Amino acid sequence: MVLERHFSVQEIAEAWGLSSQTVREIFRAEPGVLHIGKPTRRSGRAYTRRYELLRVSQSALDRVEHRLEKRPVNRLSAGDDRLKVG
């Protein structure tokens, strides 16, 4: 059995120079991410706050990093050779 390394949200945030909240949003619905804890749930009219740890597998990290690196390249104008990443 081969165990894959898993990273914390904080480790990824520091490595990528992003906030922890942004990293959570990026990986929230990604396959290969472990959700440890209890999700937010409704209790009458109120909601019980979610306390959940995310652990991102190496393969999920690689997949998202590759996907984020692929950005469309658009020309500024027909006669302009400069490229704009957008």
Summarised one tens digit per residue, pLDDT across range 7-33 is: 999 999 999 999 999 999 999 999 989
Distance between CA 41 and CA 47 in Å, rounded? 6
Q: What per-residue confidence (pLDDT) applies to 86?
A: 41
**What is the total count of domains within the chain?**
1
Burial label for 21, CB within 10 Å (0-12, 13-18, 19+), is exposed
**In a domain? residue 80:** yes
**In a domain? residue 1:** no
pTM for the predicted model, two decimal places: 0.68
Q: What per-residue confidence (pLDDT) applies to 2?
A: 72
Question: 80 phi and psi, to 5 degrees?
Answer: -105, 125
**In a domain? residue 12:** yes
| Residue ranges making up the domain that contains 40 | 6-85
**In a domain? residue 29:** yes
**In a domain? residue 17:** yes
